[in-house]
Homo-oligomer: A and B are copies of this chain.
Amino acid sequence: MKKQQNILIIGAGLCGSLLALRLGQRGFNVNLYEMRPDLRKVNISAGRSINLALSDRGLKAMRLAGVEDQVKKLCIPMNGRLLHDSDGNTVLAPYSGREHEFINSISRGDLNALLLNEAETHQNVSIHFNKKCKSVDFENTTAFFEDYKTKETFVEDADIIIATDGAGSALRKSYFLGKKFLFSFSQDWLTHGYKELSILPAANGGYQTYKNALHIWGRDSFMLIALPNLDGSFTVTLFLSFDEGDYNFGNLTTPEKVLEFFEIYFKDALALMPNLIDEFFTNPTAPLGTVKCSPWSYKGNTLLMGDAAHAIVPFYGQGMNASFEDVVEFDKALDEGQPNSEEGWEAIFKAYQTNRKKDTDAIADLAIDNFHEMKGHVNNAIFREKRNLEMTLEKNFPNAYSSKYSLVTFNEEIGYREAMLRGRAQDKAILNMLTDKELDISDDLETNLKKVNRATEEILENDRVAKNFKH
| A435 to B462 CA separation, bound complex (whole angstroms) | 10
Identify which of B186, B435, B470 contacts A185 (C-beta below 8 A).
Answer: B186
**A409 vs chain B, min Cβ distance (A):** 18
Q: How many whole Å from A166's CB to the nearest CB in chain B?
A: 17
Closest beta carbon of chain B to A373's beta carbon, Å: 7
**Chain B nearest CB, measured from A438 CB (Å):** 12
Give A432-450 as 1s and 0s: 1 = Cβ < 8 Å from B's Cβ atoms: 1001000000000000000
The interface centre, meaning the residue of A185, A377, A466 with most chain B CB atoms within 10 A of its CB, is: A466
CB proximity to B under 8 Å, residues A367-391: 369, 372-373, 377, 380, 383
- Whether A466 pairs with B383 at a CB distance below 8 angstroms is no
Asked if A188 is an interface residue, CB under 8 A from chain B, the answer is yes
Contact B184 A184 (CB under 8 A): no
* Set B183, B287, B424, B466: member contacting A427, Cβ < 8 A: B466
Chain B residues whose C-beta falls within 8 Å of the C-beta of A184 in the assembled complex: 186-189
Do A466 and B431 contact each other (CB < 8 Å), given the known contacts A182-B287, A372-B471, A471-B372?
Answer: yes
For window 412-471 of A, CB contacts with B under 8 Å fall at: 424, 427-428, 431-432, 435, 462-463, 465-466, 469-471
Q: Which of chain B's residues have a CB closer than 8 A to the CB of A372? A: 469-471
Q: Which residues of B contact A189 (CB under 8 A)?
A: 182-184
Task: List chain B residues, Cβ under 8 A from A466.
Answer: 424, 427-428, 431-432
In the complex, are the beta carbons of B187 and A185 less than 8 A apart?
yes
Query: Which residues of A (176-195) have their CB < 8 Å from a CB of B?
Result: 182-189
Instruction: Kindly report which residue of chain B lies nearest to residue A187, judged by CB atoms.
Output: B185
Assembly CA distance A432 to B471 (angstroms): 16
Tell me the count of chain A residues lying within 8 A, CB to CB, of chain B: 31
Report A313 CB to chain B, min CB distance, Å: 13
The answer to whether A469 and B185 touch across the interface, beta carbons within 8 angstroms, is no
Q: Is the CB–CB distance between A377 and B469 below 8 Å? A: yes
Contact B462 A432 (CB under 8 A): yes
The answer on a CB contact under 8 Å between A428 and B462 is: yes
Q: Name A465's contact: one of B183, B432, B463, B471 (CB within 8 Å).
A: B432
Give the complex CA separation of A185 and B189 in angstroms. Answer: 9
Give the distance in Å from the alpha carbon of A185 to the alpha carbon of B427 in the complex: 30
Residues of B within 8 A of A292 (CB): 186
Q: Report A302 CB to chain B, min CB distance, Å.
A: 19
Nearest chain-B residue to A382 (Cβ)? B469
Contacts of A428 in B (CB 8 A): 462-463, 465-466
| Chain A residues with a Cβ under 8 A of chain B | 182-189, 242, 287, 289, 292, 369, 372-373, 377, 380, 383, 424, 427-428, 431-432, 435, 462-463, 465-466, 469-471
**Sample (30) of A-B pairs whose CB atoms are under 8 Å apart:** A182-B242, A182-B287, A182-B289, A183-B187, A183-B189, A184-B186, A184-B187, A184-B188, A184-B189, A185-B185, A185-B186, A185-B187, A186-B186, A186-B188, A186-B292, A372-B469, A372-B470, A373-B469, A377-B469, A380-B469, A383-B469, A428-B462, A428-B465, A428-B466, A431-B465, A431-B466, A431-B469, A432-B465, A432-B466, A435-B465
List 15 additional contacts besides A372-B469, A427-B469, A431-B466; criterion CB under 8 Å.
A182-B189, A182-B242, A182-B287, A182-B289, A183-B189, A184-B188, A185-B185, A185-B186, A186-B186, A186-B292, A377-B469, A380-B469, A428-B463, A428-B466, A435-B465
